[in-house]
Amino acid sequence: MTRLSVNINKIATLRNARGGDNPNVVKVALDCEKFGADGITVHPRPDERHIRRQDVLDLKHVLTTEFNIEGYPAPAFMELVLQVKPAQVTLVPDSPDQITSNHGWDTFANQDFLQDIIAGLKDSGIRASVFVDADPSMVELAARAGADRVELYTEPYASDYRKIGPEMAVDKFVKAAIAAHQCGLGLNAGHDLSLENLAFLKKSIPFLDEVSIGHALICDALYLGLEKTITEYKKCIE
C-alpha cells in the first residue's frame, strides 16, 4: 500500500498573505484526513514564510494520521521535532533562503553529520527519512548513515515525463528504488508529482511506501475541490 501524505505548506502561504487565519491550517489538515489523506506533511523554514512553529505545535495535538515534518536539521529545527515527536522526520539539505527543495543530500560528504542527526531522531522513536537524488550510491550511503527510509527527489522525473517519455524518465528512479529495497530501506517520493505523472511512478515502483504532495495537489483543488482532488490522487496510487 502506498500512502498519500498531503503537504499543506501552500495553505499556510495563502493564510500568511493576508496576515489573518483564513484559511485555517489546522482545519485544512483535518479536512485532508477526513477526505482520505494518509498523512500530513509540513516543511517549516527558519523565516516562517509559510508553516510556522506554532502550526507544528497545534497540529501535533489533533492529527490522527501520520505526521511528517520536513526540514534542514539546524538546531532550532531539531529542537522542534524532538519536542513534537512526529511519526517521521524527512531531512532535506535546503539552505535557509531556498524557495523549494531542488536536490538531495550528498550522503557521502555528509555521512558523519547525518549519522549523528539520525541517531538522535531514532533515540526519540522518530522514523528518519533522508531526501536523496535518484542515485543508488546516495541511497546506499543513506542506509549506512542509519536512515529508516529515503525520499526520492522526483522533480527530474516530473520534468522528463513529458520531454523524453515516462519509461525513460522513470528508469533511474526504478534503479534507486531497487537499491533502497535491497538495503532494507523504506521508500518515499516527492516533488512535482501530479495527477499526470503519479500513476506511472506508482506502477513502476511497486514497493513505494509514501508519496508527499503539496503544490500540484493544492493547485488542482482550486478547480476540483479538496475532497475530489484527494480522491483522484488516491486513485493514482491504489
User: Any idea which residues carry the catalytic annotation?
Assistant: 43, 70, 191
Contact call for residues 26 and 62 (beta carbons, < 8 A): yes
Contact call for residues 38 and 4 (beta carbons, < 8 A): yes
| C-alpha to C-alpha distance for 40 and 68, rounded to whole angstroms | 6
Instruction: Say which DSSP state 176 is in.
Output: H
Contact call for residues 131 and 140 (beta carbons, < 8 A): no
| C-alpha to C-alpha distance for 60 and 56, rounded to whole angstroms | 6
Instruction: Say which DSSP state 22 is in.
Output: S
Radius of gyration of the chain (CA): 17
Helical spans, DSSP H, in 19-164: 25-34, 53-60, 75-84, 111-123, 136-144, 155-163
Q: Which residues face 40 on adjacent strands?
A: 6, 67
